[in-house]
């Protein structure tokens, strides 16, 4: 029987912000200013961990966020 793991990610350095409205993008940029963001590879490593576990291991939920992220 296989299940699905839910992965919650924090602030990741991707192009996503370029698709947001100006006001939203600026608010996010202010909030993360000076923070070292996660890299896409950090999330890929997490997904790789989840999908390579033995069948006896159930990873139900993972939260990955930048070390400086407090929300």
Instruction: Concatenate the DSSP letters of all residues of 18-44 into one string.
Output: GGS-HHHHHHHHHHHTT--PBPHHHHH
- Determine the pLDDT at residue 9: 75
pLDDT of residue 2: 52
pLDDT score of 6: 79
Q: In this predicted structure, what is the pLDDT of residue 52?
A: 95
Whole-prediction pTM value? 0.76
Domain ranges, ordered by start, for the chain: 6-64
How far is the C-alpha of 49 from the C-alpha of 42, rounded, in Å?
A: 11
- pLDDT tens for each residue of the chain, 71 residues long: 456 777 777 789 988 888 999 999 999 999 999 999 999 999 999 999 999 999 999 999 999 999 999 88
């Amino acid at each position: 029987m296989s299940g699905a793991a839910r992965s919650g990610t924090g602030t990741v350095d991707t192009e996503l912000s370029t698709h947001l409205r100006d006001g939203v993008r600026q608010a996010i940029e202010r909030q993360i200013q000076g923070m070292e963001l996660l890299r896409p590879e950090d999330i890929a490593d997490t997904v790789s961990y989840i999908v390579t576990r033995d069948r006896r291991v159930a990873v139900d939920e993972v939260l990955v966020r930048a070390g400086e992220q407090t929300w």
